[in-house]
Chain A
């Protein structure tokens, strides 16, 4: 069964550094999402992406964040200058057209020290 993959599974970075989290959505899906989950807390929506552009973003998704689909398979989340409070699990999800079922990747645990 096709699945969403994410790399790396765990990323440790120093405060102020840039990180890029990578996701490979399911190949025939056209909607892509990033969420984050601070340890022990609820999942928070960051951004949705369709047709090579951001379709929606939350208040969390400020200028520090950006997303890109650099080629036909990868979908990346860049955090420009990481802060301690960016430490969280970051989930990528994808969804095909005319569906409501988002398929989530296994997540990348980001630790900012």
Chain B
């Protein structure tokens, strides 16, 4: 089973609009961490936001917020007021402290976001 599922291979959003990128995860652990990364066409990986499984409030970082729904095991990224520079690949990831494997990091397949002027 996939640890991280991103069901939207590609998304389009109008400049200045908000967009939600979906992410669901699979773990049996109680303590885990969820991340979002941005990968522009230049290839580098840029950390955006982190949510701990015990954090009661949704994480926010500037225009990024993480809609954390623990019971549904979802960790959607919301980008408000989209900018042209937001066009990139977005990866959801999880740090999962498996009993046998220790902390492992799992990434989803990514969502390609295109911001339309």
Q: Give chain A's interface residues, CB within 8 Å of chain B.
A: 33, 35, 41-45, 48, 55-56, 58, 89, 91, 93, 100-107
Indicate which residue in B33, B103, B107, B110 contacts A44 across the interface (CB closer than 8 Å): B107
Interface of A: prevailing SS: strand
Q: B30 at the A/B interface (Cβ < 8 Å)?
A: no
- Let me know if B43 and A43 touch, CB within 8 A: no
Instruction: Report the nearest B residue to A95, measured CB to CB.
Output: B47
With A42-B110, A43-B45, A89-B43 as contacts: A100 and B33 at CB distance below 8 Å: yes
With A100-B50, A107-B44 as contacts: A43 and B104 at CB distance below 8 Å: no
B15 smallest CB distance to A (angstroms): 27
Residues in B neighbouring A56, C-beta threshold 8 A:
101-104
Residues in B neighbouring A33, C-beta threshold 8 A:
105
Q: Could you tell me how many residues of chain B have their Cβ less than 8 Å away from some Cβ of chain A?
A: 22
- Let me know if A43 and B44 touch, CB within 8 A: no
Residues in B neighbouring A45, C-beta threshold 8 A:
104-107
Interface of B: prevailing SS: strand
Q: B11 at the A/B interface (Cβ < 8 Å)?
A: no
- Let me know if B107 and A43 touch, CB within 8 A: yes
- Let me know if B44 and A41 touch, CB within 8 A: no
Indicate which residue in B43, B46, B104, B107 contacts A42 across the interface (CB closer than 8 Å): B107
Besides the known contacts A42-B91, A55-B102, A101-B50, 9 further A-B residue pairs in the complex with CB atoms under 8 A apart:
A33-B105, A42-B108, A55-B103, A58-B104, A89-B43, A103-B47, A104-B44, A104-B47, A105-B44
A26 smallest CB distance to B (angstroms): 13
**Most chain B CB inside 10 Å of its own CB: which residue of A41, A43, A48:** A43
Q: B93 at the A/B interface (Cβ < 8 Å)?
A: yes
Residues in B neighbouring A91, C-beta threshold 8 A:
45
- Give A89 to B47 CA distance when docked, in angstroms: 18
